[in-house]
Structure 1
Amino acid sequence: MEKINIHGVMMDNVTMDEALGFVVERLDGPGIAKIYTPNSEIMMQAQRDPALKDILNQADLLIADGAGVVLASRILRRPLKEKVSGIDLVKRILENTRTRPTSFFILGAKPGVAEKAAINIISDYPKAEIKGWHHGYFQPGEEDGIIEKINDSGAEVLLVGLGAPKQEKWIHRNASRLNCKVAMGIGGSIDVLAGTASLAPEFMRRSGLEWLFRLYKEPRRFRRMLDLPRFMMLSIRKRFGL
């Protein structure tokens, strides 16, 4: 896959169909595929945290979760094909179970939320087998037991919603201990699948205004969201050598 360098983070230049094709191929391939879905905030975190940037660059699939990342690629004249958001890719993987039954383990969110997500997935995608779940509020001493639970379940896909960058660092640190075929960081997608959080209206998603919807829903995110204009300014300065 073609790589696009956006401020030292090597993004995979893929469409949604190509990303799904990669996942399906890895389900029957060797080893574990690590999938991360950075948005503008995570890209800026990677500028301040070299370890995070290195982790992102060691992904087997690194896709642009936000319109801001795609816009930055265009500003830098290295355009990505399209936005491939984490929640949309998860839904495509679930839809694909109609032709290729797949098993999942859900790790993350508050206690009780992963169970709700599992119930909804089973209802909407009958050929998606949920092998198990665990909330994301665990202590370091519980990690070994959780990994054993994941491995014993035999799940092919591990959906990790611990929030960024915790989930990326967790997958990277534990990948060699996991027996699943795909481990994917999905942020707040578990809440969306559970029905405890909602996506922005489709017109806002198409227009790149998801950040405004999130800010309306969670005003406390204001400081974090300052990274969005910072990311755009960084791209403009690099484009014009300022």
Structure 2
Amino acid sequence: MNRKTHILGVPFDVVTMDEAVARAEGLLKEKGQHFICTPNPEIVMEARKDAELMSILREADLVVPDGIGVVWASKYSEIRLQERVAGYDLTQNLMADLAASEETFYFFGGAPGVAATAARKMMKKYPGLKIVGVHNGYFDEKEEKKIIQDIKKKAPSILLVGLGAPKQEKWIYDNIRLVGAKVAIGVGGSFDVMAGNVKRAPKIFRRLGLEWFHRLITQPTRWRRMMRLPKFALTVLRTRGR
């Protein structure tokens, strides 16, 4: 039985990065389709007012804490999370592990050209990595049907969906059985990082749990979104013990 803890109603699997990678790779061997969610404090707060998103997070096969704030909040829950499991690092570890295997990836999301650039760079970074298809995240209803058909035709082992939360989680939930991928993961803006358009915070910031601060000073237009962080902390403190 997988151990879980709850942060403001959102269930998180109590796993280390290595355990999360092993769990994700294990899903590839199971029957059916599976999806992985990587909520940070912003997504947790969004789920509190979005019943559909909360339901999806509760049904996901694996939910990992992509945010040091979530790990901090777990000290007020029944079970503490062991470490942050960033979605970007999870996908990087999966690509590194599976590059020598027959498992395949499909990159879906981002601005035009970003997923394709990300795919080229990842195949160079991980020799042997098999990325069987890419598509940007801009589409209408007609184009969406073509995207679904293309993913189904390519039959990737792992579908990475970078449409931003909560759109990507809802898209995965609605379409995973149509596209046929074994595992789908919502990856937010990861394609921009993979493509080199956005730089991750230096390791020292990530080690100290200050990646959010680095994003704020390098992308000041995010300040409105960042306002959810203190609201998240206050909500956790106000509801602790309930």
TM-score between the two structures when normalised by the length of structure 2: 0.96
Q: Equivalent residue for 2:142?
A: 141
Please tell me whether the aligned partners of residues 76 and 238 of structure 1 are also in contact (alpha carbons under 8 angstroms).
Answer: no
Shift of 1:78: 2.8
Q: Equivalent residue for 2:31?
A: 30
Q: Over residues 15-39 of structure 1, what are the superposed CA-to-partner deviations in whole Å (9 max), with x where a residue is unaligned?
A: 1111111111122221111001000
Please tell me whether the aligned partners of residues 97 and 125 of structure 1 are also in contact (alpha carbons under 8 angstroms).
Answer: no
- Structure 2 Cα separation of the partners of residues 70 and 80 of structure 1: 6
Shift of 1:77: 5.2
- Structure 2 Cα separation of the partners of residues 78 and 234 of structure 1: 18
Structure 2 counterpart of 1:158, one-letter code:
L
Q: Over residues 193-225 of structure 1, what are the superposed CA-to-partner deviations in whole Å (9 max), with x where a residue is unaligned?
A: 111111111111111111111112221211111
In structure 1, the residue corresponding to 2:130 is in which secondary structure?
strand
In structure 1, the residue corresponding to 2:105 is in which secondary structure?
strand
Please tell me whether the aligned partners of residues 105 and 150 of structure 1 are also in contact (alpha carbons under 8 angstroms).
Answer: yes
Q: Equivalent residue for 2:235?
A: 234
Q: Over residues 120-174 of structure 1, what are the superposed CA-to-partner deviations in whole Å (9 max), with x where a residue is unaligned?
A: 1111112210101000011123211101000111211100000111100110111
- Structure 2 Cα separation of the partners of residues 160 and 88 of structure 1: 15
- Structure 1 Cα separation of the partners of residues 111 and 159 of structure 2: 17
The answer on 1:165 being equivalent to 2:166 is yes
- Structure 2 Cα separation of the partners of residues 99 and 131 of structure 1: 15
- Structure 1 Cα separation of the partners of residues 116 and 27 of structure 2: 26
Q: Equivalent residue for 1:205?
A: 206
Equivalent runs, 1:4-15 vs 2, <5 Å: 4-15=5-16
Aligned length: 241
Structure 2 counterpart of 1:63, one-letter code:
V
Please tell me whether the aligned partners of residues 102 and 127 of structure 1 are also in contact (alpha carbons under 8 angstroms).
Answer: no
- Structure 2 Cα separation of the partners of residues 224 and 218 of structure 1: 11
Shift of 1:240: 5.8
Q: Equivalent residue for 2:219?
A: 218
Report the CA distance shift for 1:92/1:136 in structure 2 as closer, same or farther (over 3 A): same
Shift of 1:101: 3.7
Equivalent runs, 1:46-57 vs 2, <5 Å: 46-57=47-58
Structure 2 counterpart of 1:219, one-letter code:
P
- Structure 1 Cα separation of the partners of residues 78 and 11 of structure 2: 15
Q: Equivalent residue for 1:187?
A: 188
The answer on 1:150 being equivalent to 2:167 is no
Further displaced range: 1-10 or 98-107: 98-107
TM-score between the two structures when normalised by the length of structure 1: 0.96
Runs of 4+ in structure 1 deviating by more than 4 angstroms, as ranges, are none
Residue segments in structure 2 that go unaligned for 5+ positions in a row: none
